[in-house]
A and B are shown apart, each in its own frame.
Chain A
Amino acid sequence: MSTMSALLPLATLASSLLTAAVIFMLPEQAVRTRTALNLAAALIKLVLVIWMARGLVAGEVYAVEFAVVEGLSFVLRVDALGLTFAGLSSLLWLFTTIYAIGYLEDSPNRRRFFGFFSLCVASTLGISLAGNLFTLLIFYELLTLSTYPLVAHRGTPQALAAATVYLRYTLSAGLVLMIGMVALQVLAGDLRFGQREFLAALGPEARPWLIGLFWLLTLGFGVKAALVPLHGWLPRAMVAPAPVSALLHAVAVVKAGAFGIVRLVYDVYGIAFSASLGVLDGLVVIASVTIVYGSLRALAQQELKPRLAYSTVSQVSYIVLGIGLFGPLGTIAALAHLLHQGLMKVTLFFCAGNYAEELGIHRIDELDGVGRRMPLSSLAFTIGALGMIGMPPVVGFISKWMLGMGAMQAEMPWVIAVLVASTLLNAAYFLPILNRLWFRPGPAHGIGTWPAERAPSRLETSVWLLLPALATALLSLLAGMLAGLPFSPLQWATRVVEQTYLMP
Chain B
Amino acid sequence: MSPTPLHLLWLLFAPLALGLLAWVRPPRHSGLVLFVAMPLPLVALWLLLGLDDGPMAGQLALGPLTLHWRLDGLAALLWLLTQLLLLASALYAAGYVRTTTLGQRAYAWLWPLMGGLALGLGLIWIAADLLLLYAGLELMGLCAVGMMLLPGNAEALTAGLRYLLFALVGSLTWLLGIALLLGAWGRLDLAGMAGLASVAQPDPVTQIAVALLASGLLLKGAIFPLHSWLAPVHGSAWTPVSAIHGALVVKASFFILLLLWRALLPEAIAGAWALGLLGSLAVLWGGIQAWRAVGLKQLVAWSTVGQLGYLMLAFPLLAGTSAAVALMAWQATWLQLAGHALAKAAMFMAAGNLLLSTGAHRLEGLTGTSRRLPLSLMTFGLAAVTLMGLPPSAGFTAKWLWLQASLASGQWLWVVVLALGSLLSAIYVFRVLRCSFVEDAPEQAFRSLPLGMELIALVLALAAIGLGLAAGWPLSFLAPVGVP
Contact = CB atoms under 8 A, between A and B. Distances in A.
B472 A138 contact: no
Contact of B437 (A69, A141, A152): A152
A29 interface: no
A175 B419 contact: yes
Interface string A318-360: 0000000000000000000000000000000000000000000
Contacts of A155: 437-440
Contacts of B407: 182-183, 186
Nearest to B378: A24
Nearest to B381: A145
B388 to A, nearest CB: 8
Contacts of A175: 419, 422-423
Interface stretch (B81-89, B176-184, B397-405): B397-405
B360 interface: no
Contacts of A164: 430, 434
Contacts of A72: 397, 400-401
A141 B391 contact: yes
Interface in A172-196: 172, 174-175, 178-179, 182-183, 185-186
Nearest to B422: A175
A179 B419 CA distance: 9
A74 interface: yes
B426 interface: yes
B385 interface: yes
Contacts of A152: 434, 437
Nearest to A152: B437
A46 interface: no
Interface centre among A163, A172, A182 (most CB of B within 10 A): A182
A154 interface: yes
A167 interface: yes
A74 B374 contact: no
Given A24-B374, A24-B378, A142 B391 contact: yes
B374 A182 contact: no
B446 to A, nearest CB: 14
B370 A112 contact: yes
Interface centre among B392, B404, B426, B437 (most CB of A within 10 A): B437
Contacts of A153: 437
A69 B430 contact: no
A175 B470 CA distance: 22
B403 A68 contact: no
B371 interface: yes
A109 interface: yes
A172 B390 CA distance: 12
A109 B371 contact: yes
A59 B374 CA distance: 46
Nearest to B426: A171
Nearest to B375: A24
Given A66-B472, A112-B370, A167 B430 contact: yes
A175 B403 CA distance: 11
Contact of B400 (A108, A109, A178): A178
A241 B440 CA distance: 17
B374 A111 contact: yes
A214 interface: no
B426 A167 contact: yes
B364 to A, nearest CB: 13
A111 B471 CA distance: 32
A449 interface: no
Chain B residues touching A, range: 35 or more
Contact of A69 (B397, B426, B438): B397
A271 to B, nearest CB: 27
Given A69-B471, A167-B426, A141 B440 contact: no
Given A68-B472, A152-B437, A167-B430, A145 B385 contact: yes
B391 A172 contact: no
Interface in B54-106: none
A144 B438 CA distance: 20
Contacts of A186: 404, 407-408
A156 interface: yes
A33 B380 CA distance: 27
A70 B332 CA distance: 12
Contacts of A24: 374, 378
Interface string A69-80: 110101000000
A134 B400 contact: yes
A159 B335 CA distance: 36
A67 interface: yes
Contacts of A294: none
Interface in B181-204: none
A149 interface: yes
Interface in A128-178: 134, 137-139, 141-142, 144-145, 148-149, 152-156, 159-160, 163-164, 167, 171-172, 174-175, 178
Contact of B423 (A66, A171, A185): A171
Interface string B402-427: 01100110000001000100110010
Contact of B439 (A149, A156, A174, A179): A156
Given A167-B426, A183-B407, A185-B404, A69 B390 contact: no
Contacts of B357: none
Given A68-B469, A68-B471, A112 B403 contact: no
A154 B331 contact: no
Contacts of B472: 66-70
Contacts of A139: 391
Contacts of A167: 426, 430
B475 interface: yes
Interface string B384-395: 010000111000
Contacts of B434: 152, 160, 163-164
A378 to B, nearest CB: 33
Interface string A356-396: 00000000000000000000000000000000000000000
A179 B331 contact: no
Nearest to B470: A68
11 contacts: A68-B470, A69-B397, A72-B400, A109-B370, A137-B391, A148-B430, A163-B437, A171-B423, A172-B423, A175-B419, A182-B404
Given A134-B400, A142-B390, A186-B407, 20 more contacts: A24-B378, A67-B472, A68-B472, A69-B401, A70-B472, A72-B397, A109-B371, A112-B370, A138-B396, A139-B391, A152-B437, A153-B437, A155-B437, A171-B426, A178-B399, A178-B400, A179-B403, A182-B400, A182-B404, A182-B407
Which 8 A-B pairs rank lowest in CB-CB distance, beginning with the nearest? A155-B439, A138-B391, A182-B403, A152-B437, A155-B437, A186-B407, A141-B391, A186-B408
Interface of B: 327, 331, 335, 370-371, 374, 378, 385, 390-392, 396-397, 399-401, 403-404, 407-408, 415, 419, 422-423, 426, 430, 433-434, 437-440, 468-472, 475
Interface of A: 24, 66-70, 72, 74, 108-109, 111-112, 134, 137-139, 141-142, 144-145, 148-149, 152-156, 159-160, 163-164, 167, 171-172, 174-175, 178-179, 182-183, 185-186
